[in-house]
Amino acid sequence: MKCVSISVVLLLLASQAAWGRDIPLLRDIPEDVPELVGFATGCSIPLNNGLPQPQPLFLIPDTDQFRYPSTSSGVLTLNAGETLELACSAGFSLYPSETSIKVACVIDDQFNYESKMYSFSEFSCTANWRSVARRTTSRCYNDATIVEIGFELGARFPKILDVCHDEVTFDNHYLVHEFTPANAGFQAGVPRPGWIQGNFYTGVTVNTLYTVNTQRETIATILNSQSRADQLVQGTDNGIFMARGHIAARADFIYGTQQNATFWFLNAAPQWQNFNAGNWERIESSVKTFVASRNINVRVYGGTWGVQTLADGNGDHQQIFLDFDANGRRRVRAPMVYYKILHNEAQNSGIVLIGVNNVHISLEEIRRDYIFCTD
């Protein structure tokens, strides 16, 4: 039996104008050009102002693996002559008939493709990527289904997430993804897309379940008290409502294409907004700093556990769901806690971070009902 140490925490080349895009032949280069000593011999692409838009996928050539920065600097670096595969779902602006090209680093942001020189930002797609969620035959907790979220690229499927999704209860138990020091230098300022339901959650419109008015109506039914529901779910102005809480935060992923792919309801659960934008956001940010400062690679298991309860007018606690009726339908549970497990496989060690998803309980209740283990 393997033992894992676990800690638990509650809580620029010549001007293009001079010679166009044609790369000079070796015989055309004067012999008396001095050797460049101490100058950059590769390419550097800052993620926040140097990437093409719409953005292609950046891949290790001929694989389904993304090519990432090697540090937390937020700069993608390549050696001179190193190749990078770019992929667009509907072709490139420069080459509309091509969905995948391999470009070679020359210097700075200059890349060679088919004996022409281009700035890296010129390799834009004709359209934004749309991610895909596909069911697998693998099973997980409570006979739920493993769903992969990624991008269809012919026979390849560059993936960002595995999700354990229950097609009966509509619960998203946990998900798995990778984390490296590069994640701390993620692309910032990516516009938020809309949420995606796809062909999951049959029979319901998940967006509607999350509206404040629907939350109030549902909780009023569960607690048999509209006044109590109005007290518990107040509105978006003060954050006392349940948001579509990312299980894996969009800022947990490096490129804008990947961040947009986190907006599947498969990667969400009901989360009180004040917790979402408060303690849990601080945990999410701290994880990136932790991994980068220690220069480690970890596998992240993020998930939800338990069913949150709220007191009705009589003081009796009732379990909370967003899809509920008096005839027994209880789906899309409001989790008791959110958690993240960071597993360093190289050192066989890890840490567990737990956040209490309830803004209506006291410290006494947390100490009584939320202590999962003692150190």
Cα atoms found within 13 Å of the Cα of residue 340, Cβ hemisphere only: 26
DSSP string, 152-195: -BTTB--EEEEEEE-TTT--EEEEEEEE-GGGGGPPP-PPP---
Whole-Å CA distances, 228 to 101, 221, 231, 359: 59, 10, 5, 15
The 3-state DSSP class for residue 109 equals coil
246 is catalytic: yes
Q: And the tokens for 57?
A: 């996928």
Active-site pick, 165, 173, 177, 246: 246
Q: What whole-number distance in Å separates Cα of residue 337 and Cα of residue 194?
A: 25
CA neighbor of 247 nearest in space, from 285, 222, 287, 284: 284
Q: Is 274 annotated as a binding residue?
A: no
Q: What whole-number distance in Å separates Cα of residue 281 and Cα of residue 273?
A: 10
Query: What burial class does residue 240 get, using C-beta atoms within 10 Å of its C-beta: 0-12 exposed, 13-18 middle, 19+ buried?
Result: middle
The residues assigned a catalytic role are 246
Q: Which residues are annotated as a binding site?
A: 276
Instruction: Provide the annotated binding site for Mg(2+).
Output: 276
